[in-house]
Amino acid sequence: MKAEFINPFLEATMSVLKTMAFLEPIPGNPYIKKGGAASGDISGIVGITGEAEGSLCLSFSKGCILFIISKMLGEEQKEINEEVKDAVGELTNMISGDSRRRLQEIGHSFQGAIPSVISGPEHEVKHITRGPILSIPFTTQAGDFIVEVCFK
């Protein structure tokens, strides 16, 4: 995992949430982990190909995502319903696209696949790679979420 890959994903997450949900989540220190899984109540996952094969995953607690999507849709969301799942898919797509645009600017070309949204209390997402996984934690006033990126 190249260090220069960290900022495009971090900045894309901040930028998309600011634009879409008027939200400024506080990023924690990004760290590199070997193995392990992200857990959450809802996750957006999208595959990446091109210069290297990879995967991008955003995992949110229920409280955190209902807060974010309520702000995004301008209407209070009380449950993880179809509208919330679609909005998580849209956020995942936008963060994937914006990250890849930023990577392109520094000379790295990637394509994005179709995102999937996983829902289910405390599910785990494990990236199947022997390589390092970049983990970027974020804090909002309604709870934490995590952005994970891995490349082969």
Residues at the interface with a copy of itself (CB under 8 A): 37, 43-50, 53-55, 57, 85-86, 89-90, 92-93, 111-129, 150-152
By beta-carbon proximity to a copy of itself, the closer residue of 46 and 142 is 46
- Take residue 30 and report the two structure tokens written for it: 């990004």
CB of 73 to a copy of itself, least distance (A): 16
In 3-state terms, what secondary structure has residue 80? coil
- Separation CA 90–CA 31 (nearest Å): 26
Strand 26-27 relative to strand 110-112, pairing: unpaired
| Residue closer to a copy of itself, measured from CB, 24 or 36 | 36
Distance between CA atoms of 44 and 80, rounded to whole angstroms?
13
The H-assigned helical ranges of 44-110 are: 62-73, 82-105
- Minimum CB distance to a copy of itself, residue 50 (Å): 8
Q: What are phi and psi of 110, to 5 degrees?
A: -135, 155
Smallest distance from a copy of itself to CB 24, Å:
25
Q: Which is nearer to a copy of itself, 26 or 101 (CB)?
A: 101
We find the least distance from the C-beta atom of residue 127 to a copy of itself, in angstroms, to be 6
Q: Which is nearer to a copy of itself, 26 or 32 (CB)?
A: 32
SS3 assignment, position 132: strand
Shortest Å, Cβ 26 to a copy of itself: 26
Q: Which is nearer to a copy of itself, 28 or 35 (CB)?
A: 35
Query: At which residue do the structure tokens 């634009």 appear?
Result: 19
